[in-house]
Amino acid sequence: MTMNNVETSIGSERGRGRPPKIRSSEVYGRAEHWRGVLAQVWDRLWPLLSNARSEGEVTNAFQDGASPYDSYFVPGLAALTLQVLRESTLPKRAQPLQRFLADSLAGVGVVTPRRSRDICAQERAKRASVNRILRYEFYVECSCGYCGRSKNHACPKCGAEILFPVSIGSFMS
Ligand SMILES: [Zn+2]
């Protein structure tokens, strides 16, 4: 991808303070996506990428080893990739390395690889700590006479289902 594709938030949106250059959720989302991509092509990609010593060789490695996903990474992020591969903290094992690469590159150079990894770690921690609604029911008054809590979004006595409005139904399904 090219730098032109990077979505950045508009300065005045947040009111005060220095606007973030890139959305954390966007960086994290891209990192997760790219981690999956890297895992999928890793056996082809890594033998080539681990021997790449220039931007051109990084580009070739992705084009030969990561197609059809190579354009996510090169040529736009070839220089950044080379920089990340030279970091002293580069993991050795495949899975941590895939995550390291994905997290580092997901900031697409708008932020440093280090900052990009920090953003991903923060977003990961945030998501892990947030409680989620696992199940929700409604108080219903059914024509069968039942009044009380629904069960699996239906009347527990006669089985009549709650009919959601179309706009909500498509969102909830
Ligand atoms: Zn009923």
Residues 143 and 125 placed together within one structural domain of the fold:
no
Residues 34 and 118 placed together within one structural domain of the fold:
yes
CB atoms inside a 10 Å sphere around CB 41: 18
- Report how far ligand 1's centroid is from the alpha carbon of 162 (Å): 10
Share of the chain above pLDDT 90, in %: 73
Q: pLDDT value at position 173? A: 44
- Report how far ligand 1's centroid is from the alpha carbon of 148 (Å): 10
Q: Are 103 and 116 in contact (CB under 8 A)?
A: yes
CA distances from 170 to 91, 144, 173 (A): 43, 27, 5
Residues 40 and 79 placed together within one structural domain of the fold:
yes
79-94 average pLDDT score: 96
Q: In the predicted model, is pLDDT for residue 25 greater than 90?
A: yes
- Report how far ligand 1's centroid is from the alpha carbon of 140 (Å): 9
Tokens of 49: 């990428």
125 part of a folded domain? yes
Residues 147 and 124 placed together within one structural domain of the fold:
no
Residues 106 and 88 placed together within one structural domain of the fold:
yes
pLDDT digits 0-9 by tens, 39-69 = 999 999 999 999 999 999 999 999 999 999 9
Helix, coil or strand: residue 85: helix
Q: Which domain holds residue 42?
A: 3-129
Q: What residues pack around ion ligand 1 (CB closer than 5 A)?
A: 142, 144, 146, 155, 157-158, 160
- Report how far ligand 1's centroid is from the alpha carbon of 157 (Å): 5
Residues 113 and 32 placed together within one structural domain of the fold:
yes
| pTM exceeding the 0.85 threshold for the entire prediction | no
Q: Report the distance separating Cα 89 and Cα 80, nearest Å.
A: 15
- Report how far ligand 1's centroid is from the alpha carbon of 166 (Å): 22
> Distance between the two ends of the chain, CA-based, in angstroms?
33
Residues 96 and 150 placed together within one structural domain of the fold:
no
- Report how far ligand 1's centroid is from the alpha carbon of 168 (Å): 22
**Mean pLDDT, rounded, of the chain:** 87
Q: Are 97 and 90 in contact (CB under 8 A)?
A: yes
Match 């690889």 to its residue by tokens: 113
Residues 119 and 151 placed together within one structural domain of the fold:
no
Residues 156 and 119 placed together within one structural domain of the fold:
no
Residues 21 and 46 placed together within one structural domain of the fold:
yes
- Identify the band that residue 4 occupies on the pLDDT scale cut at 50, 70 and 90: very low
134 part of a folded domain? no
Residues 148 and 106 placed together within one structural domain of the fold:
no
- Report how far ligand 1's centroid is from the alpha carbon of 173 (Å): 22
- Report how far ligand 1's centroid is from the alpha carbon of 161 (Å): 9
- Identify the band that residue 168 occupies on the pLDDT scale cut at 50, 70 and 90: low
- Identify the band that residue 18 occupies on the pLDDT scale cut at 50, 70 and 90: low
Q: Are 9 and 19 in contact (CB under 8 A)?
A: yes
- Report how far ligand 1's centroid is from the alpha carbon of 151 (Å): 11
Nearest by Cα to 112 from 135, 79, 158, 138: 79
- The highest-confidence range among 77-91, 122-136, 157-171, by mean pLDDT, is 77-91
Q: Are 59 and 74 in contact (CB under 8 A)?
A: yes
Q: How many domains does the chain have?
A: 2
Residues 101 and 153 placed together within one structural domain of the fold:
no
- Report how far ligand 1's centroid is from the alpha carbon of 172 (Å): 22
